[in-house]
Amino acid sequence: MEGDRRVGVAVDFSPCSNKALKWAVDNVVRNGDHLILLTIRPEGHYEEGEMQLWETTGSPLIPLAEFCDPNIMKKYGVKPDPETLDIVSCVARQKEIVVLLKIYWGDAREKICEAIDNIPLSCIVIGNRGLGKIKRAIMGSVSNYVVNNATCPVTVVKNADHE
């Protein structure tokens, strides 16, 4: 089974998702693994035919070299931050892993759970924005939904800046 592990990390290129990515790299990812970053874009009206095709299934798996290229990412409507790119480029070299990005369009809760089954992922790491009880009740918590509906182990990395 070594080398067949596909570790997913949900990213939105925020400090919270970077914290989850760093945690996954430090604690879960091993030599030979596939690190698959999942990012979910809001649904929208995309003019390009490719986007309409991918709205249901998500983008193809995008290799690290391509998602480091701002011109290619512009076509997907995604702008990875420099910190995320630095983390994944560094771990790809150090641990000799394959890093891929998969983009979905729609509701983050549902698309993350779909990705777990469709890719399929061995486990997933997701950040928690630390919404208060009222905001979480109104908006719903992506991490809570994934924990309760995922078909693989889920690790939630809490965003605790106030510590």
pLDDT at 144: 86
Question: What domains, with CATH codes, occur in the chain?
Answer: 6-158 (3.40.50.620)
pTM (two decimals): 0.87
Predicted pLDDT of residue 83: 96
pLDDT one-digit tens code per residue, 103-146: 998 899 999 999 999 999 999 999 987 665 665 555 458 888 99
What pLDDT band is residue 160 in, cutting at 50, 70 and 90? low
Higher pLDDT, 159 or 147: 147
Is the pLDDT at 82 greater than 60? The verdict is: yes
- Cβ-contact 111, 103 below 8 angstroms: no
Whole-angstrom distance, CA of residue 44 vs CA of residue 23: 31
Dihedral sign computed on CA atoms, order 140, 158, 104, 79: positive
